[in-house]
Structures are given as structure tokens and as C-alpha cells.
Structure 1
Amino acid sequence: MKHLLLLLSLLPAWAMALNVNTGGNLPSIDIDNAGELQLAGDDISYSAWSTQQLNGKVMLIQAMAGRTSAKELNAPMIEAVKQAKFGDDVYQTVTIVNLDDAIFGTSGFVKGKLKKNKKAFPKASFVLDKKGELFELWQLKAKSSAIILLDASGTVLFAKDGELNQQEIDQVIGLIEANI
């Protein structure tokens, strides 16, 4: 009986396993419920975005809840990328924010912060997922941050949902360097 209870208690964790596999491609999705932030002068607009756009460069995807705590989880990974100064012609960071997983009443703040980041880093790609559709499809944890690395053809080189440790950060940087 104890084993059955243990098994049942673990079931939700199995049901929410990351649906992104190293060596494969990302589950395909189109986001048109906001989408990618576009910068024209000082103005920001949104355009539909698709995983089909994720090729031609090595891409580091940070998919995260619309919460400061989620952003902080993998801030050291993003800082390591900034310090490495990879060329824009061979590398791109893509930040996808789940607005459906923001603290109640903070969605305006989250959108404003995303717009500010787009202006500060115009070469980076910022995507707003208002309904959390991508996060549901990829089975990403709530209140979390996932790091996914793709090669230039869109093959997943690394994927982890949750905070990366220093060894994993070094591994991702090494994979970027080996694939650009």
C-alpha cells in the first residue's frame, strides 16, 4: 500500500516532464496572442511568432514565467552569455515570457519590463505568450525558467527546466562555442 501511495504522489511530476528532448526538434507552435516584440524607432509592436523561425543561428531560449523570481533563476546563465559576447551573425538569445504565469495584477509591469529589455537589447528576440500555450505544449513548470539550446538547424543541444548550476552553465557555453 505504501508503494502505491508513493507512486500516486509522484504521478503529477511524471505528467509534467519537460516535453523537449536533446537531439530532437522543439514541439512546433505558433504564438499570435501577442508574439514577438518588434522595435521601430521608439515604438514597440507585436507580430506573430513561430518555432519555425528558430534556425540559421545557434539559439539560446530562456522560457520563463512572468515573474521576477523566474528571471532570477537563470540570470547567471544569461550573464555568462553576455560576457561571452557571441557574434550576432551566428548566435541569438530568445526570451519567451509566459504572461499567464505572472503574479495577479503584474501583467502590465511584466509587459513594460519586456519592452524596456527589447529597447536595451534590440538584436535579442523577446516573445510574449499571453495564454501560456507554449508552456503548456512544452510542459514547462509553473513559476520557473527553462534553458533550451538549439544548433543552427534547430536541433536541441541542451534542455533543462529549472535553475542551472555552474557546471551546466559551463556546458551550455561550451556547446555554443562548439556550434557557432
Structure 2
Amino acid sequence: MKKFLPPLVMSLLFSHSTLAHNVQLNQPLPAINVNNDGEILFDNAISYKNWHSTSLAGKVRVIQHIAGRSSVKEKNQALIDAIKAANFDRSKYQTTTIINADDAVIATGPFVKSSAEDGKKQNPHSQVVLDQKSAVKNAWNLKEKESFIAVLDKNGKVQFVAEGKLSPEQIQQIIKLVRHLTQ
């Protein structure tokens, strides 16, 4: 006798799979270039340069991709606070924040850009990327209006990945993982 899954279960399975990111453990992030605006640089003045995901190897990293909305930024502020408190060796570790300005509340684009630039000034050792065209979101198949977190080893391979608000247990897992990877 054949068994069929109820239609609701099937629709949930297929709708989830179409929304799932395409980032895989023990693999590099899918390659993407951000040319509009790109990585924010700060050396007495703000400037921009093209950013390439292939440049992430060399240091252990927490990658945070966020929609350009304060509500999304706040979702994983506890992780950022835990990273700051951990005081990781900057020669071995770097946080990379990618802000999707294309996924901002209508008419807030200039505020998102200014906020990203202020964030770079406050944390010059962190890497901040401003994505005006959803290039990263589209390349990695990320959810709109959401937060995405990945931990990369020094070879640029994904060791942890999650979308949405992290649990306290996940935050501790990330901190322990980064400590282990930076030894």
C-alpha cells in the first residue's frame, strides 16, 4: 500500500525548501561580488571598494547579513555583544557585517547608509559591506527582512549557519566555536 503525505505537510516541505539558503557546511560561501556600494573603508574619511566573498579566507569570521532595518539588526545584537565581550584576537578573527540596504523600509535608504558608515567608524577593525542591490541575499538565497549568521574557519569554509534570531545556546555555541577555531 502506498503512503502519501498529507497535502499540508507536502506544501510545508516544498515551501520551506524554496526559502532555504544555499549555504553549506564545510564549503565556502557561494561567490558574490558587491559593486554597489561595497565594503566601507574608514581612514579619516569614508570610502567604498568592491567587495568579494572570496576574500573572506585568512581569518576566522562571524558573517552577519542583515536586512537594512533596525528591527532585524536588533534580533542578534546579543551575539554582537557576546563577540565584543569575548575580545577575540584581531589578528585571527574579524566580524563581517553585510547590510542589505535594498531590503530597507521605503525611504530609509540614506539613513541605512549613514548608520552603516557610523558603524564602521565605531568599529574600524570590523568589516562592513553595504549591498544596495540585494546581491548577497540573492546569491545566497536568503530570506527577506531577516538576519543570517555564518561562522567561517580561516580557510573560508562554513562551520555554522543559521537564519533568524539565535537562541542563547546558539550564541554560546558560536563563541565556543570561534574560540576553538582561533587557537
Q: What TM bracket, shorter-length normalisation?
A: over 0.9
- The equivalent residue for 1:149 is 151
Distance in 1 of aligned mates of 2:25 and 2:14: 23
Deviation string 1:85-134 (CA, Å, 9 cap, x unpaired) is 11110100000011110000101111011111111110100001101011
Q: TM-score, normalised by structure 2?
A: 0.93
- The equivalent residue for 1:24 is 27
- The equivalent residue for 1:40 is 43
Q: TM-score, normalised by structure 1?
A: 0.95
- The equivalent residue for 2:51 is 49
Q: Secondary structure at the match of 2:120?
A: helix
Deviation string 1:41-72 (CA, Å, 9 cap, x unpaired) is 1x111100001110111011000100001101
Distance in 2 of aligned mates of 1:8 and 1:178: 40
Distance in 1 of aligned mates of 2:168 and 2:9: 32
Q: Does the aligned pair in 1 maintain the 2:33–2:135 contact within 8 Å? A: no
- Give the count of matched residue pairs: 179
Distance in 1 of aligned mates of 2:134 and 2:110: 16
Q: What stretches of structure 2 of length at least 5 have no aligned partner?
A: none
Q: Secondary structure at the match of 1:45?
A: strand
Report percent identity of matched pairs: 39
Within 5 Å, which residues of 2 pair with 1:82-93?
82-93=84-95
Mean CA deviation greater in 12-21 or 128-137: 12-21
Q: Secondary structure at the match of 2:6?
A: helix
Within 5 Å, which residues of 2 pair with 1:157-168?
157-168=159-170
Change (3 A) 1:2 1:20: closer
Deviation at 1:4, TM superposition (A): 2.6
Distance in 2 of aligned mates of 1:26 and 1:71: 21
User: Which aligned runs of 4 or more in structure 1 are off by greater than 2 angstroms?
Assistant: 1-13
Within 5 Å, which residues of 2 pair with 1:118-129?
118-129=120-131
Deviation at 1:5, TM superposition (A): 4.8
1:95 to 94, 97, 103: 97
The amino acid that maps onto 1:53 is: S
Distance in 2 of aligned mates of 1:5 and 1:161: 23
- The equivalent residue for 1:172 is 174
Q: Secondary structure at the match of 1:164?
A: coil
Deviation at 1:177, TM superposition (A): 0.4
